[in-house]
Chain A
């Protein structure tokens, strides 16, 4: 079974600065997908960024980028120019690239609560 570990329960950053959230995972599969979700106080789960394991290039979405290290099974999220609206719980998630049944599920880490200080 796959596992996802987020070792930082809480992080804080000053507005306009850069912060990196850590995520490691364990899998025996070679084909998979990794995601970062943001959950603001509204509770809504919002997809921030995703990475296909077969792609060596790191994904970027505006101020959000990832550092994907497949051999190390590491998938960190970098938020640049942090804004007050970035304050939220962030979840790292894994999904198998193999189709069928339970492989469609997302396996989540326990989350990192990000505080942005003005």
Chain B
């Protein structure tokens, strides 16, 4: 049981380049989400998904796309990287809470630098 995995751990991009941050979980969680962490800002929600084929925007979605074709995977795509997207990105997953108590499990994070 690997939990939530993210690749890569570090990435440097040039402005205008595109890339995909990978996230996978092996816990059969319905809910998956992407956060970004910036100094002094805490973590802010980018996009989330409550199941395969269902995605929606979070607090800071601009410049990012997501899709959810399987329960396990939830990739985050940067369409045209900008320096403002320099951040640490976290993927998280949980069961959709019928009990409303389920813990969200976080991946190890991806540190992205856009030059």
Contacts and interface: CB of A to CB of B under 8 A. Distances in A.
Interface string B26-51: 00000101010000111111001010
A16 interface: no
B103 A52 contact: no
Taking chain B's interface residues, is the majority helix, strand, or loop, or is none over half, making it mixed? strand
A62 interface: no
A47 B58 CA distance: 22
Interface stretch (B11-19, B63-71, B75-83, B89-97): B89-97
Interface of B: 31, 33, 35, 40-45, 48, 50, 56, 58, 88, 90, 92, 94, 96-98, 100-101, 103-104, 106, 108-109, 111
A106 B40 contact: no
On chain A, which size bracket covers the interface? 20 to 34
Contacts of B106: 44-45
Contact of A101 (B41, B50, B92, B108): B50
Contacts of A97: 100
A101 B56 contact: yes
Contacts, number: 60
A101 B104 CA distance: 15
Taking chain A's interface residues, is the majority helix, strand, or loop, or is none over half, making it mixed? loop
A105 B48 contact: yes
Given A33-B101, A44-B106, A50-B103, A102 B58 contact: yes
A105 B103 contact: no
Contacts of B40: 9, 110-111
Interface in A92-118: 97-99, 101-102, 104-106, 108-111
Nearest to A6: B42
B98 A102 contact: no
Contact of B56 (A33, A99, A102, A108): A102
A31 interface: yes
Nearest to B102: A104
A99 B97 CA distance: 7
B48 A104 contact: yes
Contacts of A52: 101
20 contacts: A31-B100, A33-B101, A43-B88, A43-B109, A44-B108, A45-B106, A98-B100, A99-B96, A101-B48, A101-B50, A104-B33, A105-B58, A106-B92, A108-B42, A108-B43, A108-B44, A109-B42, A110-B41, A110-B42, A111-B42
